[in-house]
Structure 1
Amino acid sequence: MRRRDRAARRVRRTVRWVVALAVAALLALVGYGWVRQHPQDNPWAPLDLSQPVGMFTGRKLAALGSDFPGCRALLDRAGVKYTVLPERSEGERCGYADGLRFTADDPRITPFSPANLGTACPVSAALALWQWEVVQPAAERHFRMRVSHIEHLGSYNCRRLYGRSSGDFSQHATADAVDISGFRLADGTRVTLVADWTKAGPRAAFLRDVRDGACGVFATVLSPDYNAAHRDHLHLDQADRGAMSWRACR
């Protein structure tokens, strides 16, 4: 009787193991199929600007700070037209070797105002994807029209954080940041952070949508919700803090 009981227990354990392995294999196959259909959520898949924003898109974009040829190739594959800027060196902590500017005749890129905005390549790549996947869809939802110009306060600025005389340098010191102050719609309407962030209605909702969407493609996004210093702009930067380090969205 005891031998039969022990044999029965062994059979049950074997069956449980077989069932567990079968379930694990099935889940692996399902997961593999899902990842193949959603490469934007695969941490090992190459970045592709034609794909929607995924879980690892922002980290991959920030990592391009150490791969200027790869960043340019990414823009080339997406059909984005740009001009490479001359290298710039200004002191020990300021300057860039990966700056570029979108060309004015590229129909895929929403013009910036003032014109001739130059940024580090990872910022440019993120700005392109942000326009396509976030800004223009949000404008269509809230205003039934597109954004004709994106207004900004600049990118490169050799300075420390908040313009202090000491402390860490800003991402602006390497052109790895840009400050967005507002948007001009196709009918000429201006939607700005300083005038519309605290109001009710579609303008404020639009601004929060573009802020929230920026968090998927930039390492740091700071808005008027963060502090008074950002009351009139969105600070967007591509600080590369490593694959598993923190990202800021406020």
Structure 2
Amino acid sequence: MSSTLSRIIKWLLFLAVVAGAVLTRPWEYIPPEWHPLEPLAIEHPMTLVTKWKLGRIKDDPQQCLAVLEAAPEGAIDYLALEDYTPVAGCPLTNVVRVSNTGVRFSSTFTITCPLAVAWVMFERQQLQPLAQQHLGSALIQVDHFGSFACRNIYHREGARRSQHATAGAFDVAAFRFENGQQVSVLSHWADDEAPAKSAFLKETHDAACGYFGTVLGPDYNQPHENHFHFDTSGFGFCR
């Protein structure tokens, strides 16, 4: 077979493949959570592509707000805020004020829009199922230590700024359930007398690692013995 004929056959095969792709349009059958060109949605299961999209909305405030605006009814009650500087040296950008999500909070708080998206996805896809699995009841309230704090990490002079300085972190201390049960990170993380509560906390911590860039808990260090720290920095630091 001549080299010219061989090249012609290769081109014909290539054109056949292209024509087949155009006619069958296989990209239309890719689930949206796996499709890199589909916008992120609260209801998308967490995949590598979903997590990549979560990272991208950090740099696209309008797209992030669009995700919240399209959230299912009752998923989040929030107010989008203009960029502002509440404390000198700690400007806030791309933030929202959260009143409640599918649960109540011990107080309202301000967090970055991407962190709000990650929280709502985590709450709906992991927290509520884990609540039913381990406590046999719906989660109705989250007690927290806040989000924004203009400070360095561990309040150390000369240290780098904490993620809290940009409202990019959220500290969760306890959970309250519809059947009256309460679960505290401080009291129940390693409570052998309440194995269901301990299991709920540990599985909550592990599940959060798929939604937040950094997750810290009691096993990390003493300052985190009474809360979970969730933030969107990094990519999978889970301790």
SS at structure 2 position matched to 1:60: helix
TM-score by structure 1 length? 0.77
Letter in 2 for 1:62: G
| Alpha-carbon spacing, 1:180–1:34, altered in 2? closer, same or farther (3 Å) | farther
In structure 2, the partner of 1:221 is 215
Q: Which residue of 1 aligns with 2:6?
A: none
CA distance in 1, matches of 2:128, 2:27: 28
Pair 1:161–1:59, CA change in 2 (3 A): farther
Corresponding residue for 1:91? 88
Bigger Cα Rg: 1
* Structure 1 residues 143 and 165: CA distance shift in structure 2, 3 A: same
1:127-176 Cα deviation digits (max 9, x unpaired): 11111001100000111111110111000001111111112111100000
Measured after TM superposition, the shift of residue 61 of structure 1 is 1.8
Counterparts of 1:7-156 in structure 2 under 5 Å? 36-79=29-72, 80-89=76-85, 90-92=87-89, 94-104=90-100, 109-113=102-106, 115-156=107-148
Question: In the comparison of the two structures, how many residue pairs are matched?
Answer: 215
| Structure 1: runs of 5 or more not aligned | 1-20
Closer, same or farther: CA 91–133 of 1 in aligned 2, 3 Å: same
Aligned-partner Cα distance in 1 for 2:95–2:180:
30
1:188 to 161, 164, 180: 180
Q: Deviation at 1:33?
A: 6.6
In 2, the alpha carbon distance for the partners of 1:234 and 1:168 equals: 20
**Structure 1 match to 2:3:** none
CA contact (8 A) 1:112 1:152 kept: yes
- Residues of 1 paired with 2:116 and 2:152: CA distance? 22
- Distance, in Å, in 2 between the alignment partners of 1:36 and 1:205 is 38
Where structure 2 has 5 or more consecutive residues not aligned to the other structure, the ranges are: 1-12
Residues 154 and 35 of structure 1: is their aligned pair in 2 closer, same or farther, counting only changes over 3 Å? farther
| Alpha carbons 2:44, 2:50 under 8 Å: kept | no
Contact 1:135 1:210 in 2 (8 A): yes
SS at match of 1:56: helix
Q: Kindly indicate whether structure 1 or structure 2 has the higher relative contact order, using CA contacts under 8 Å at least 6 residues apart.
A: 1
- Aligned residue for 1:238? 232
- Compared CA separation, residues 151 and 67, structure 1 to 2 (3 A): same
Aligned 8 A contact 2:210 2:236 in 1: no
* SS of residue paired to 1:83: strand
Per the normalisation by structure 2, the TM-score is: 0.80
Whether the aligned pair in 2 keeps the contact of 1:138 and 1:209 (CA below 8 Å) is yes
> 3-state DSSP class of the match of 2:137?
coil
Query: What amino acid is the match of 1:198?
Result: A
Task: Report the aligned-residue RMSD.
Answer: 2.5
Contact 2:99 2:105 survives alignment (8 Å)? no
Taking structure 1 as reference, are residues 205 and 66 closer, same or farther at Cα in structure 2, changes over 3 Å only? same
Cα deviation 1:187-225 (Å, max 9, x = unaligned): 222101100001131111101111111111111111111
What's the CA shift for 1:95? 2.3
Matches of 1:36 and 1:55, distance apart in 2: 18
Letter in 2 for 1:231: E
d(CA) in 1 for partners of 2:45, 2:178: 24
Seq. identity, %: 33
